Chains A and B, each alone.
Chain A
Amino acid sequence: MTASTAPARPESEAAATSPWVERLRRVGRALALPAGSVVLAFLIGAVLIALAGGDPLASYEALACGGFGISCFGGETPALQISNTIEFITPLLMAGLAVGVAFRAGLFNIGVQGQLILGAIFATIVGLRLASLPGVILIPLLMLAGVVGGALWAGIVGVLKAFTGAHEVVTTIMLNYVAYNLLNYLLINGPMQAPNSSQISLPVGQNAQLPTLIPQEGLFFGQPGGAYHASIGIFIALAAAGVYAFLMRRTALGYEIRAVGQSQRAARYAGISVRRTIIVTMLISGAFAGLTGGLMIAGGSLHYLYADLKFDTTGFDAIAVSLLGQNVAIGVVLSAILFGALHAGGLVMQSDVQISSHIVEILQAVILFSLAANFLRSLKLRLPSLGREPAKPDGMEAAQAALQAEVGSTAAAEGDGRA
């Protein structure tokens, strides 16, 4: 193979731009939409807060305090706020990766919540049953149990999709409700309920708990160490993001997942088994989700299973995390940080200025709307002077194509329309 050094240079105007300029432009284009969406969400949020009789500026100050430990006026300890935020970031990042993998294959996994519940159940069982094992063995086993639980639950979806065409949006949601009821069964007067308590299991022992970032003994930044719950789980989540990036960009499997997500017809042309890829993708997605559940038990601040996990929204928030991050690892990390800060900050906002923390969900919905609608692109279309070729985020087109699987290839082919 002759490795030629100079790529062919066409005479067209495009030749004038070097690959580096093009790469920079692509990064800029990729950032514009998410950044614009976030700004828009905050603007709309401010209007809502004002309508609800609040002070948008003070609310956002409280939000920033709770999220990043800055601009605090309610006597909060900045370091403690950052620790809280990290505690929120960890599961959001893991679950965001779970959603992201599926998106890349054109699958919309709304079932991460159910999958992480299964992961948490499996992890808790292992943590309780094998409590006598030393931590170095027990913790990996517990995580593995979480992975298996999540992968099993998501695997059902993959198999149904691959062999019967049942749409994953519906099947994942149904499985969520089955998981909630399973959780209820186990914990409300059920086999896993701790004696003399209600709706919770026994906590897993010390051996099954991840070390915290800050020692539990002594004073740190004016607070006892025990107040800081952030664990080294964040590093596990970051490592998972690295695995995700490697899988997607550097492996043949990732290549095939992306190909299936873009066009199943093309994938078949290339000799890729669409069924197998869908199932494998759901297993990986479920594994990430199950690991999220494992991290909630081994890390976090509770270390036990509780029935109200069904009201937890991590699995749904993760969809916004993944989409805002454009389904790429670094993007998911950044948006997990943003949403982690929003969730942690929302609690401070609620206690400091009495604005319900549920405003965060509204912000999230606005971000999703503007990502989906790609308002920026629409602006560009109307201002041709700004317009280069409109960029399109991968996942949405993919999800669209997947939904139209029965209709045939025309959707994907026409979807990319005017370039």
Chain B
Amino acid sequence: MAILSQLLQVLVSGDFWQLALRDGALLALPALGGVLSERSGVTNIAMEGMMLTGAFFSVVAALSFHNPWMAVIVAMLAGGAMALIHAFISIRFRADQIISGFAINIAAVGLTTFLNAKLSNFRGLQQVDPSGRLPTINVPLLDNIPFLGQVFFQQNIIVYVSLALLAIANLVLFRTRLGLRLRAVGEHPEAADTAGINVYRLRYGAVIMSGLLSGLAGAFLAIGIANIFNDNMTSGRGYIALAAMIFGKWTPWGAFVACMIFGVGDALAASTGVINVPQYFLQMVPYVLALVVLAGLVGRSTPPAADGIPYTPGGE
């Protein structure tokens, strides 16, 4: 029962929950991107690649400008550009969206490693110095609350941004005209089109949003957490976000809850020193969790009706 008490010890520590929330908020960004994209009817498995692209370009920009905000903008634009390719191929050419998304992920690996080798002469880009890093914000007064202060009020600025974006997205999606139209396009594009709604414009917008959000997540990972770029550094987080989106039934808060489950898994994986289980088994935890979670859904999670189906106006 040593493991149980070690686990308990981990679960009551502020460090653990601080880490879990950080990673949950990180995952929530691409997951939210996925929600928006798929709500508009474009299947998106490309968050991984868009995130990786964002991570790379944030480091390049941070190293050149020594300014994290410039880096964030560049990262978002880079993620958005990858998303634009996915949108163009999926919407204009009515491609298979899974293959297009997978190709984005491959392209992102190829592009970032290719450019990484080119820019660093095969040595790898250097570490980002503090002037280029995203800051941690300690909310005055509140950060002194025991436990809760550490978990909620001593976080990287992007954690707060991520939570705010979730709230805004939820409001937009379910309370506004824009959200109604976006959901209409994802459920029944013909109905939306015949009601005079521009299906393509909304789909492009939603997919590009997913790129901007994933790019932001990439920047958070690279210049807010790791402070360096490593090839393939997203290591499947985009895919885990995808699982979170499905588990969260294509809603922002649902996806966030799922992201928190994975965040806890991540934090567990990082607790090797305390929990006496081989390190690599602990690191399997988030992935195994994703499997269990997906298997447990058994037909209870239904995607938007037109998700993944290219739209042809006036089609037959």
Contacts and interface: CB of A to CB of B under 8 A. Distances in A.
Complex contact flag A–B (Cβ < 8 Å): yes
Interface of A: 48, 52, 108, 110, 160, 163-167, 169-171, 173-178, 181-182, 184-185, 188, 190, 311, 316, 319-320, 323, 356, 358-362, 364-366, 368-369, 371-375, 378, 396-397, 399-400, 403-404, 406-407, 411, 414-415, 417-418
Which among B240, B242, B279, B291 has the greatest number of chain A C-beta atoms within 10 A?
B291
Interface of B: 43, 45, 85, 89, 93-100, 102-104, 106-107, 109-111, 113-114, 117-118, 122, 232, 235-236, 239-240, 242-243, 246, 278-281, 283-284, 287-288, 290-291, 294-299, 302-303, 305, 307-309, 312, 315-316
A171 B239 CA distance: 10
Contacts of B235: 177
Nearest to B238: A173
A362 B298 CA distance: 37
Contacts of B296: 164
14 contacts: A52-B114, A173-B236, A174-B236, A174-B290, A175-B287, A175-B291, A181-B281, A190-B278, A364-B106, A365-B104, A369-B85, A372-B93, A372-B95, A414-B315
Contact of B114 (A110, A185, A356, A374): A356
Contact of B102 (A110, A178, A403): A110
B43 A403 contact: yes
Nearest to A393: B96
A379 B283 CA distance: 48
B239 A365 contact: no
Given A175-B291, A356-B114, A372-B103, A406 B303 contact: yes
Contacts of A190: 278, 280
Contacts of A375: 93
A373 B294 contact: no
Contact of B283 (A181, A371, A372, A407): A181
B308 A404 contact: yes
Nearest to B43: A403
A396 B284 contact: no
Given A164-B297, A181-B281, A371 B316 contact: no
Contacts of B291: 160, 166, 171, 174-175, 178
B235 to A, nearest CB: 7
Contacts of B283: 181, 184
A174 to B, nearest CB: 4
Nearest to B280: A185
Given A323-B99, A368-B103, A404-B309, A166 B297 contact: yes
Contacts of B316: 414, 417-418
Contacts of B232: 311
Contacts of B118: 52, 356
Contacts of A415: 309
Contacts of A319: 102
B308 A358 contact: no
A108 B102 CA distance: 10
Given A166-B297, A181-B283, A174 B106 contact: no
A400 B100 contact: no
9 A-B pairs with the lowest CB-CB distances in the bound complex, closest first = A361-B110, A365-B107, A373-B93, A368-B103, A185-B280, A372-B95, A356-B117, A362-B110, A372-B99
Contact of A174 (B45, B102, B287): B287
B117 A358 contact: yes
A174 B299 CA distance: 19
A181 to B, nearest CB: 4
B190 to A, nearest CB: 10
A407 B188 CA distance: 12
Contact of A373 (B95, B102, B312): B95
A260 B263 CA distance: 37
Contacts of B278: 185, 190
Given A356-B113, A361-B107, A178 B288 contact: yes
Which among A369, A407, A418 has the greatest number of chain B C-beta atoms within 10 A?
A369
A400 B96 contact: yes
B315 A417 contact: yes
Which among B43, B232, B242, B284 has the greatest number of chain A C-beta atoms within 10 A?
B284
Contacts of B93: 372-375, 378
A165 B96 contact: no
Given A181-B283, A185-B281, A361-B110, A169 B99 contact: no
B107 A396 contact: no
A165 B239 CA distance: 17
Given A164-B294, A417-B312, A403 B110 contact: no
Contact of B308 (A52, A185, A320, A400): A400
Contacts of B236: 173-174, 176-177
A371 B93 CA distance: 11
A179 to B, nearest CB: 9
Contacts of B89: 369, 372-373
A406 B102 contact: no
A178 B98 contact: no
B297 A169 contact: no
Nearest to B286: A177
A169 B45 CA distance: 9
Contact of B113 (A171, A358, A399): A358
Contacts of B43: 403
A239 to B, nearest CB: 29
A368 B97 CA distance: 11
Contacts of B99: 108, 323, 368, 371-372, 396, 399
A375 to B, nearest CB: 7
B110 A181 contact: no
Contacts of A171: 291, 294-295
B124 to A, nearest CB: 12
Given A181-B284, A184-B280, 19 more contacts: A160-B295, A164-B294, A164-B298, A170-B239, A170-B246, A174-B288, A177-B235, A181-B283, A362-B110, A368-B106, A373-B95, A373-B100, A374-B93, A399-B96, A400-B96, A403-B43, A403-B308, A404-B307, A417-B316
Which among B43, B89, B99 has the greatest number of chain A C-beta atoms within 10 A?
B99
B118 to A, nearest CB: 5
A160 B243 CA distance: 14
A111 to B, nearest CB: 11
Nearest to A173: B239
Which among A185, A372, A417 has the greatest number of chain B C-beta atoms within 10 A?
A372
A188 B281 CA distance: 12
A316 B309 contact: no
Contact of A166 (B95, B106, B295): B295
Contact of A164 (B246, B295, B302): B295
